[in-house]
């Protein structure tokens, strides 16, 4: 029996059942939290750069954190949804190697769990707008944090449990990724883990190669072969994901966030951030956090 320790924890953001129309039409949405949908009636679609998924009644859909996608409803759709943050940043995101839209047929127990979660957490809908540019604001994140702090222990435990059960329905995708990762050399896996745990430190490719007892160029080529990215690009990607999370969930200054995510200075942080998201950190904060 595996003794692997499960270290991932999640905190509720929103839960609701809503009726959507053709106003639910938003492009290039990328959020630092997870979404799970259960479609009760009607239809819609989710699109990522790699795939399009048609939303159908009786199915569950998972959008992992930092998954770029478009939302669309041509006419009518009744949808249960739950949105939640992953708090276990230091261990790496649960779906870090599988950031894509996932679909599976819902079970009767899934529907019961959604309804139970909604009953446990009344008034946790968005209740303002279904537009991410409206509801992804600082005031709303503060509100969810306050609600979670004031949540009864019994409700907190049951809420966490339901989220874990719903997520567990998609674990086969993670198991596939884990099976694939077994083919990755241990030196590459060790480097990936080291990067995730030391994002606030100055990490160089030379340092990673030395830890692997390999030539720098050989290590870089092997890392690229098994991850699809050069080590430096991978480091930057993980730092920017962490920076996005900090920008929308804390009041830290951009300089503090730059330092915490391992950048030497604010201009360098800004340059890399803009390269990845086509937006400066300041513009990203204004778009996602400014109270309107």
Helix (H) or strand (E) holding 62, with range, is: strand 59-63
> pLDDT tier at 223 (50, 70, 90 boundaries)?
very high
* Pair 75, 42: CB distance under 8 Å: yes
pLDDT value for 246: 84
- Residue 80, pLDDT > 90, answer yes
- What pLDDT does 30 receive? 74
Is residue 99 within 8 Å of residue 50, measured between CB atoms? no
Q: What is the pLDDT of residues 248-267, one digit of tens each?
A: 777 889 999 999 999 988 99
Please name every residue paired with 14 in a beta bridge, in sequence order, or none if there are none.
83
Q: Give me the pLDDT at residue 91, please.
A: 52
Q: pLDDT digits over 266-282, tens only?
A: 999 999 999 888 888 98
Neighbouring C-alpha atoms within 13 Å toward the C-beta of 94 = 26
pLDDT at res. 37? 97
Domain ranges of the chain: 10-177, 184-289
Say how far apart CA 147 and CA 84 lie, in whole Å.
13
Q: Domain 10-177 belongs to what topology?
A: Jelly Rolls (2.60.120)
Identical fold, 10-177 and 184-289: no
Identify whether the C-beta of residue 34 lies closer than 8 Å to the C-beta of residue 25. no
Element (H, E) at 47: strand 44-47
According to CATH, the topology of domain 184-289 is Arc Repressor Mutant, subunit A (1.10.10)
The average pLDDT across 176-200 equals 72
Which of 33-37, 56-60, 237-241 has the lowest average pLDDT? Answer: 237-241
Query: In the predicted model, is pLDDT for residue 291 greater than 60?
Result: no
Higher model confidence: residue 9 or residue 223? 223
- Answer yes or no: is pLDDT of 1 > 50: no
Above 50 in pLDDT, residue 181? no
CA-atom Rg of the chain in angstroms:
20
- Please, which residues bridge with residue 124 across strands? none
CA distance linking residue 106 with residue 58, whole number of Å:
6
The pLDDT confidence band at residue 219, using thresholds 50, 70 and 90, is very high
What is the C-alpha separation between 191 and 185, in angstroms, rounded? 10
Give yes or no for residue 286 having a pLDDT over 80. no
């Amino acid at each position: 029996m595996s003794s692997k320790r499960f270290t991932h924890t999640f905190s509720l953001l929103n839960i609701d059942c809503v009726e959507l129309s053709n106003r639910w039409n938003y492009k290039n949405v990328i959020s630092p939290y997870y979404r799970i949908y259960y479609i009760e009636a009607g239809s819609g679609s989710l699109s990522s750069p790699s795939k399009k998924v048609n939303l159908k009644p009786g199915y569950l859909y998972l959008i992992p954190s930092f998954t770029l996608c478009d939302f669309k409803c041509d006419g009518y759709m009744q949808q249960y949804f739950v949105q939640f943050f992953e708090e276990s940043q230091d261990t790496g995101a649960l779906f870090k190697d599988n950031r894509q839209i996932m679909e599976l047929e819902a079970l009767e127990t899934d529907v019961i769990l959604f309804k139970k979660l909604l009953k446990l957490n009344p008034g946790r809908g968005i209740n303002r707008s279904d537009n991410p540019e409206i509801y992804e604001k600082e005031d709303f994140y503060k509100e969810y944090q306050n609600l979670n702090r004031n949540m009864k222990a019994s409700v907190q435990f049951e809420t966490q449990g339901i989220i874990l059960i719903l997520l567990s329905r998609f674990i086969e995708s993670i198991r596939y990724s884990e099976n694939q990762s077994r083919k990755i050399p241990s030196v590459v896996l060790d480097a990936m883990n080291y990067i995730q745990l030391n994002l606030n430190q100055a990490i160089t490719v030379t340092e990673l190669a030395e830890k692997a007892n390999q030539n720098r160029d050989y290590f870089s080529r092997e890392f690229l072969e098994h991850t699809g990215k050069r080590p430096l690009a991978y480091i930057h990607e993980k730092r920017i994901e962490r920076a996005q999370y900090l920008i929308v969930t804390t009041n830290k200054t951009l300089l503090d966030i730059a330092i915490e995510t391992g950048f030497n200075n604010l201009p360098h942080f800004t340059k890399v951030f803009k390269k990845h998201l086509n937006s400066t950190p300041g513009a990203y904060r204004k778009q996602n956090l400014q109270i309107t």
